[in-house]
A = this chain, B = another copy of it.
Amino acid sequence: MLNSPECSFNLSLNDCTFKIKRDDLLPDFMGGNKVRKNSYILNSLPCLPDVIITNGGAESNHARVCALMAARLGIKCHLVLHGEEDKSDYLHGNKFFIESTNTEINYVNSHEIARTIEIAEKKYKSRDLDVFVIPGGGHSLDGARAYIAAVDELAEEPDYIIFPSGTGATHAGLLAGVKKKNWKTQVIGISIARQAERGVAAIDELYAPLCAELNIQHNVDDVIFLDEFTFGGYAKYNAELIKFIRELTSQTGVPFDPVYSGKALYGLTQLLEQSKIPAKSKVLFWHTGGLLNLQSARKVYDTNI
């Protein structure tokens, strides 16, 4: 049930052909790349734990998926969330879905995450419950392996795969998946937050062992992680990005958000404009989700647009 549709994508840019891989339409748990990762992570365990604990931002897609997945499996979920809790009375965003479950939530400051997870873990273990801690964002080898498998769903070898690159497992998996198939595809992650040095290190932390496991020649230079389109950091955006999202949604009929897919698509159009992706290329945009981030985002007012 994990296949997502691969559709034609009517960008009219630089005489390239475009396709879009719609992981935002994965049927379970409101879709997105976190569905693939967390399904793979839980399926890889020898047996289902009684409790999963994980962490993320207050509007985290990863947290939403973990909460809903645990609810459907009938196990407990404990979330350690940082950042500002949304106090809106709209029934929107990831918050609505997280709070639809019986998930236990601690809102903490960033520096308290590790300790809070530790305390929760001890609490459940003292009750003789099996606990499994999923790394924030599903950043683990199994999270990345989900994307090695996902590459197998593609109908043909693209020249470029472009996608939003965050904590690194999606990126490491896509790159390893492409190498495993002996494709020449360039895998280009558009950073949605991190600067290149930290971003590449996090990706390579997973990519290097995956190469060893798959007998692929490892070269860190294959990790292409562009940090020019972050719009100032995680979940930051300006009126220019929102204008861009509106235009591209209108042109293509596909939703984009200002946290993930919108930034990556913006990066793609810039690469095309700068002819860093040559004419006649076969380009695949991998949509990793984010509609709920759009739905809980607010207008911004820039004076310089």
Q: Hey, which bits of chain A sit against chain B, CB under 8 A?
A: 1, 5, 7-8, 10, 22, 25, 27-30, 68-69, 71-72, 88-93, 96-97, 99-102, 242, 245-247, 249-255, 258, 291-292, 294-299
Tell me the bound Cα distance from A255 to B97 in angstroms: 8
A295–B92 contact, CB under 8 A? yes
Contact A296 B252 (CB under 8 A): no
The interface residues of chain B lying within 8 Å CB-to-CB of A247 are: 100
On whether the beta carbons of A68 and B250 are closer than 8 Å, the reply is yes
Chain B residues with CB under 8 Å of A1's CB are: 7-8
Which of B72, B91, B255, B298 interacts with A30 by CB under 8 Å? B255
> Which listed residue (B25, B28, B97, B297) contacts A27, Cβ 8 A?
B25
- Which of B72, B100, B258, B294 is within 8 Å of A246, CB to CB? B100
- Shortest Cβ distance from A10 into chain B, in angstroms? 7
In the bound complex, residues from chain B placing their C-beta under 8 Å from that of A245 are: 100
Pick 11 A–B contacts, CB within 8 A, sort by A: A10-B72, A22-B27, A30-B255, A68-B253, A72-B251, A90-B296, A90-B297, A90-B299, A91-B299, A92-B296, A96-B246
Contact between chains at A253 and B29 (CB < 8 Å) = yes
B91 touches A250 (CB 8 A): no
- The verdict on A253 contacting B72 (CB below 8 Å), with A25-B25, A25-B27, A27-B7 known, is yes
User: Among the interface residues A89, A92, A298, which one has the most CB atoms of the partner chain B within 10 A?
Assistant: A92
By the criterion CB–CB under 8 Å, are B250 and A71 in contact? Answer: yes
- Which residues of B have CB within 8 Å of A253? 28-30, 68-69, 71-72
For the complex, give the distance between the alpha carbons of A48 and B261 in Å: 31
Q: Are B88 and A90 in contact (CB under 8 A)?
A: yes
By beta carbon, the residue of chain B nearest A246 is: B100
Identity of the chain B residue whose Cβ is nearest the Cβ of A10 in the assembled complex: B72
Determine the distance from Cα of A62 to Cα of B282 in the docked complex, in whole angstroms: 34
**How many angstroms from the CA of A96 to the CA of B28 in the assembled complex?**
24
* Top-6 shortest CB links A-B: A100-B246, A295-B295, A71-B250, A92-B295, A89-B299, A101-B250
On chain B, the residues within 8 Å of A97 by CB distance are 249, 255
In the assembled complex, the Cα of A27 lies from the Cα of B255 at a distance in Å of 10
Q: Report chain B residues within 8 Å CB of A93.
A: 295
